[in-house]
Structure 1
């Protein structure tokens, strides 16, 4: 049932989002948005799978970047998870996972160029931080009893391999498979910064108004995600991981002098680089904060809070679509398809599509974030309701929804929502690259103007903001004793 603290917390966040609407730009500026939206859906239902010669190559490279990046990230994350209890390791992992994959790609592009290493590291580095945290939590939850039954003299490595790993192997494998799906989405959007994955061709098709081409790419991407259980088999994983590097494509040779210059000159604050010394650093920092960082932080926070509440609303509307307590199998199958599409479409791609159709404002970003994250949480909450057994005389219809099911899953719903809060913040910041005035907009502008020192400072501010939101979300979950699984 609802408890007073959870209700108060929900109302506080709802009030913050409502106030944020007065400061947010939610306008539709396109001259004929409904016609454009209709043309887009017409393109989706009439896809052209043969117009783009590079489409299959783009899909293959999308898969290759995902496999290599996730493999490196999981291996590095597993090693970090073994020492995750140390504070410096936890801080390092929190920092690298707080920076979005596209930000990492923009950094590596400056000295590696359009080399496969750019895309691989852009996925592997933040994923290493994510894997380290989750793997550490999984390992910490293993039963210590089997380790106590080993014969005296057993080594630490033997004890670890024969007692802890088998106990949590299913959880490790399940989470890694889920992160591979996330890696495919991350790989796809790397095309928006010029790497030869699906996003590159999707952006080209939209810019030329070829909606049938774009529809074909989206459909193939959905099929790729939906069929992961069919083609990603444990026995085939070594083949995929070893073969994927050969399908990443070629790039120009890396000029290591550019790498050295980037770290020793380009990202050094301009007052120090120009010989002005520490005295010129304060005016430089003040100008950066007043004109770029603070406006970016404000818009990022406002958009995040609106998107968070919108995600909650979408979740509460979506979970009945797949719940066994409502409707029949046909409706539930349709609901599953809708939620698969919503959660499989990367927020960046969905926001890009809506920006092309509606024009630049915060509205496309809010809708994209809410649909994607609402689809994810709605799917999880819907599955939880399927394990709830109602009494024979339970009410039906809206009363069943509002009095029987929502009170039982509401705490889990809030736990998932606050867990996704930091993720929504990361995505909100990066959506600035599309022209929305969040922190990503100012990062991209600084890079375009070859002001890498300002760009790196803004990326650092973005990471600290994400770390702060993550810590606040954990505090709220702990204070309200929220769990993602309902208690008995």
Structure 2
């Protein structure tokens, strides 16, 4: 890039950042960020007391919850990785890319609600709920890794070499280290997803957390909270390459992915229940669609975007504030250790669980969701920027303290920060939609209500609208990254 082009590019970065901030400020009048509880401080004190003095369940109860959480995660991620690998081989085809995008655009909890209608509260429903969206995610990441490999080894092969041989001997060896690293990271995400499935009745750690926290039994919930945190925070230590096949076999043995299948009910669901009511009855569909649009679709989509924009800005602010806590360019060994511990906790806890706890403390509004999304994703951004900042080389006479932060490090990391934030935007949209199941009036609130009322035709249409919104936001973020010449692939994000 020429010296003359650089200022224009820097100006584009500033304008893009300013645009997001302005959009978030414009969203504020439509956001309900009030505190609706009478004494949030008292409830926070009870929560802290419960965490400090936990009441431990029986070893069997805790052990079964942990085993089920891991079983869903291992099977779902393994099946998703296998399907995603198959899709990645054809990822150059536009139809495959759109299909993968549609799979990952729907949150695991929404997939779970669908599969529960087909297979009941079974192991198969939970495994598929994780595997299906993860297949779309793996397809995208693996496909991009294949595209970014060096083509020189493939060109050196004899012309008669089959595509399978070319894949095995040239493409896979280059992409495999990154694929393995990303799959291990996705397993960490799978454990979080598995825990959250407990909030809709599957027997994971989240099932116990939801029932105990909702009743205010914080001391009884604390052991399950610590177990989830410990599983995720130490996953990189106990999940070694040679141990993964054994753990996967143990997961299948503990929780076989089977379910009682009633072909008649499945056929009725696919051919009757999800068909829009006007088509089933032969009446005019326009009044039905307009009622759905004005009553649920439009307010749900607007609230989803409002919440996502506010959460994106909070996430970004927390990311740039938190990254010095883990950077070698600031503080000392002790402060970095403490900062790393805080970020690990915030990164490990699912947004859904954080929002559920904040909802208990602050009452039903958008504020708990903004806090949860901001803390979790801000911690991820802060961790990533902090790790990359360790590669910066400063002059020996470089400024220190706040001057180093504002004038040396932050300007050089800002492009990376914006790339990470745009990559997280798709995730923020997905999580924003699903937080509606906690009562926040996003599109997920209306989807959950439709399932609860057995109006599956409305539920599927609302799910499709949520997926289209997610795909649109992903395309916009990708276009923005391309226009600003930001990093194309961020595998750990």
1:342 aligns to 2:349 (yes or no): no
Cα distance in structure 1, aligned partners of 2:244 and 2:259: 29
Q: Is 2:49 the counterpart of 1:42?
A: yes
Q: Distance in 1 between matches of 2:173 and 2:259?
A: 44
1:397 matched to 2:404? The reply is no
Partner residue in 2 for 1:441? 445
- 2:214 paired with 1:210: no
Contact 1:119 1:190 in 2 (8 A): yes
Question: SS of the counterpart of 1:234?
Answer: coil
Say if 1:115 and 1:254, in contact at 8 Å, map to a contact too.
no
Separation in 2, partners of 1:252, 1:152 = 48
Distance 2:345 2:164 in 1: 43
What is the alpha-carbon distance in structure 2 between the residues aligned to residue 439 and residue 20 of structure 1? 17
Report the Cα distance in structure 1 between the residues aligned to 2:474 and 2:169, rounded to whole angstroms: 34
1:9 and 1:442 map into 2 onto residues whose CA distance is 32
Q: Map 1:66-465; keep pairs closer than 5 Å.
A: 66-151=73-158, 153-248=160-255, 253-276=260-283, 280-465=284-469
Q: Give the CA deviation at 1:52.
A: 7.8
TM-score scaled by structure 2? 0.95
Partners of 1:35 and 1:248 in 2: how far apart?
A: 40
| Alignment partners' CA distance in 2, 1:37 and 1:359 | 12
**Cα distance in 2 for residues equivalent to 1:142 and 1:122:** 31
Aligned to 2:3: none
Q: CA deviation at 1:149?
A: 3.4
User: Is the deviation greater in 77-86 or in 240-249?
Assistant: 240-249
TM-superposed deviation, 1:50? 2.6
Residue 40 of structure 2 is matched in structure 1 by 33
* CA shift digits 1:103-141 (9 cap, x unpaired): 000111112110111101100000000000100011111
Residue-pair matches, total: 483
Q: Distance in 1 between matches of 2:140 and 2:291?
A: 36
Query: CA-to-partner distance for each residue in 1:293-319, whole Å, 9 max, x for gaps?
Result: 000001000000000000000001100
The CA distance in 1 between the partners of 2:301 and 2:236, in whole Å, is 40
Tell me the secondary structure at the aligned position of residue 330 of structure 2: coil
- Asked whether the equivalents of residues 124 and 259 of structure 2 are also in contact (C-alpha less than 8 Å), the reply is no
Partners of 2:347 and 2:380 within 8 A in 1: yes
RMSD: 1.6
What secondary structure, in the 3-state scheme, does the structure 2 residue paired with 1:314 have? helix
2:472 aligned residue: 468
Distance 2:54 2:141 in 1: 39
- C-alpha distance after superposition, 1:121-173 (max 9, x if no partner): 10000000000010001111111222333456433212211121111211110
Q: Shift of the alpha carbon at 1:251?
A: 7.6
More divergent stretch after superposition (27-36 vs 251-260): 251-260
Structure 1 residue 51, shift from structure 2 partner = 5.5
Q: Equivalents in 2 of 1:245, 1:273: separation in Å? A: 41
Contact 2:127 2:257 in 1 (8 A): no
Q: Which whole-Å CA distance do the structure 2 matches of 1:405 and 1:485 have between them?
A: 22
Unaligned 5+ residue runs, structure 2?
1-5
Contact 1:360 1:436 in 2 (8 A): yes
Unaligned residue ranges in structure 1 (runs of 5+): none
